[in-house]
Structure 1
Amino acid sequence: MYLYVYEGYQGGREGRQRTEELVRRAAERYIYEERLNLGTVSGRILRTERGKPYFQEVPIEFSVSHTGSLWVCLMDTGTVGVDVQEIRGCRREKIAERYYTADEREYVQSRGESGFFQIWARKEAYAKYTGDGFTERLRSFSTLKDTSVEFIDFDVCAGIKGSCCMKEKRELWIRQIV
């Protein structure tokens, strides 16, 4: 499983087009690094009814996230989800009370702001993994206790928390793309 990182991302109007270019670049590199015999990634990136992106003709799963100028894309042959969150000021107690389970709120109390954003990245990664988005089910889903999925937490750079969600834990390789 590979996490491709791009620094200097700018969203806005061109954000979706730029994301598709970066996803294709990451996919080409993934195919090369995994020595997969899949050819090139040339087709459009499609989306499910709920917005989960996928390749029509290439059997690679991917998930994308960005925060500030950091963009990441997780690639694997199995279903995956990824999220990155820049640590910033917010009403974390109020958000945690609304969206976190009791054990997650306890985790945030013991770890503070960093713990809050780690759980938030896990929740978002899980939502992308399932393809359901951020639904009511996430309020009762514990990213600390549920064993139906695995998480790998990572820090790409200072002040940013990240998490990957997958069915079974795998080794995570982080690569820069330019």
Structure 2
Amino acid sequence: MYLLYTNEYKRNSAHSRELLARSIRKLIESDSSIDIAPELAALTGEELRRYIADNIEFNKNGKPHIAGIPDYSISHSENTWAIIFSDAPCGLDIQYNKKAKLEKIAVKLYQEDEQESVNKLGIDEFFRIWSRREALIKAAGSSVFYDAPSTMGESTIYEGAMWRIYDVSLGAEISSADNAGATSSDGSCRRERWLYAATAVRDDSAFGGTNNLQVSTLD
């Protein structure tokens, strides 16, 4: 499995499509064990962007697919954008922690063991579970409005398949002015906020765990 990310996302769909094209190009040029249509290697940057526009399709819940491209999943939070490619259906979610009505959301969406863990460990656990839950839902091509099983274990059955779920680390931080914290030199209120990330992949994938996850930046 390959994960690419940037902390310079411009937060618009055009830039996301550009980053998708750059990611596919980087995958093509890497020593990748994931199958990709060989004819795509000869495409220029503009040709590849046009190919994506002409061939991208979405299921009813928005999961994308491009002919000749391995299964992939995109996620973004604030200025961070990330994508994974896998040999089997996969999902990725990244999320910076932020103010939220955690207990209310957990009661509505989380399974009982997930709620208990959030009650015990707080905001960090809430967002860790959130990213795992979203990664699973995206991998299955389902909807956030559907019930999802507990993601507390290393694997789970969902939508008729077995899925493995992993917490992943990009080593990314962000300083934000929208939460209370230390005061910066200009007098604004700032605090460091950590990025939570998780990936889910169908159990028939050759991916052997996070030690085999190849991570690089698009910067």
State how far apart, in whole Å, the 1-side matches of 2:57 and 2:15 are. 15
SS in 1 for 2:147: helix
Which stretch has the larger CA shift, 109-118 or 78-87?
109-118
Q: Name which of 142, 150, 157 aligns with 1:142.
A: 150
Q: Deviations over 1:119-154 (max 9, x none)?
A: 00011111110111213222xx11114252111112
Q: Name which of 23, 28, 32 aligns with 1:26.
A: 23
Alignment of 1:163-178 (within 5 A): 163-168=198-203, 169-170=207-208, 171-178=212-219
State how far apart, in whole Å, the 2-side matches of 1:117 and 1:173 are. 23
* Equivalent AA in structure 1 for residue 25 of structure 2: E
State how far apart, in whole Å, the 1-side matches of 2:121 and 2:213 are. 24
State how far apart, in whole Å, the 2-side matches of 1:135 and 1:31 are. 35
Q: Deviations over 1:60-117 (max 9, x none)?
A: 1110000010000011121110000101111101100110001111221232111000
Instruction: State the partner residue of 1:2.
Output: 2
Identity of aligned residues (%): 24
State how far apart, in whole Å, the 1-side matches of 2:83 and 2:69 are. 16
CA contact (8 A) 1:82 1:164 kept: yes
State how far apart, in whole Å, the 1-side matches of 2:127 and 2:215 are. 20
Tell me if 1:65 matches 2:75: yes
Tell me if 1:54 matches 2:65: yes
SS in 2 for 1:161: strand
* Equivalent AA in structure 2 for residue 68 of structure 1: E
CA contact (8 A) 1:59 1:77 kept: no
Aligned length: 172
Which consecutive residues of structure 2, in runs of 5 or more, have no partner in the other structure?
A: 174-193
* Equivalent AA in structure 2 for residue 154 of structure 1: V
Instruction: State the partner residue of 2:121.
Output: 111
State how far apart, in whole Å, the 1-side matches of 2:103 and 2:61 are. 29
Q: Which structure has the larger Rg?
A: 2
Instruction: State the partner residue of 1:151.
Output: 165
* Equivalent AA in structure 2 for residue 3 of structure 1: L
Aligned alpha-carbon RMSD (Å): 1.7
SS in 2 for 1:142: coil
TM-score when normalising by structure 2: 0.73
Shift of 1:32: 2.5
Shift of 1:20: 1.5
SS in 2 for 1:73: strand
CA contact (8 A) 1:121 1:163 kept: yes
Instruction: State the partner residue of 2:39.
Output: 39
